[in-house]
Amino acid sequence: MEKRIRVLVAKPGLDGHDRGAKVVARALRDAGFEVIYTGLRQTPEQIAEAALQEDVNVIAMSILSGAHPHLFPKVVELVREKGMDDVLIIGGGVIPEGDIPALKKAGIAEVFTPGTKTGDIVKFIKEHVK
């Protein structure tokens, strides 16, 4: 049997709005993925460590506070430093269009903004996870 895709849903930074993260987590689980949720206020170091310990294929982060330009790239950097080259890293939240090119350049595979269907996230993961 094929190994199920494992996803870490993470909330980096101090923002406590986790409606989006929890809805996405549940939709991913309903789509057949194994989902681990970190809870709030995770530092980039904690997220990278959890990804390593849990041996995940995907890290899906959510931020609404505007701290994404600082925190998203930092997670990518730490994850790659730990040798997890295949882990797919995606992000979402209140993220202005103008910020997206820089995030992609930093290694965020895709950024999902408000109004996204959870089905589109599922599809993206299935198509891009290695």
* β-strands 34-37, 88-93 pairing: unpaired
Task: Check residue 105 for interaction with another protein (CB under 8 A).
Answer: no
User: Closest approach of Cβ 112 to another protein, in Å?
Assistant: 11
Binding footprint of another protein, residue count (CB under 8 A): 36
**Residue 78 to residue 61: CA distance in whole angstroms:** 14
Q: Which range, of 19-27, 53-61, 81-89, 102-110, touches another protein by CB under 8 A?
A: 19-27
In terms of C-beta distances under 8 Å and separation of at least 24 residues, what long-range contacts does 98-103 make, across chains too?
99/68, 99/69, 102/69, 103/68, 103/69, 103/72, 103/73
Residues that bind another protein (CB under 8 A): 13-19, 22-23, 25-27, 29, 35, 37-41, 43, 65-67, 69-71, 94, 96-98, 113-115, 117-119
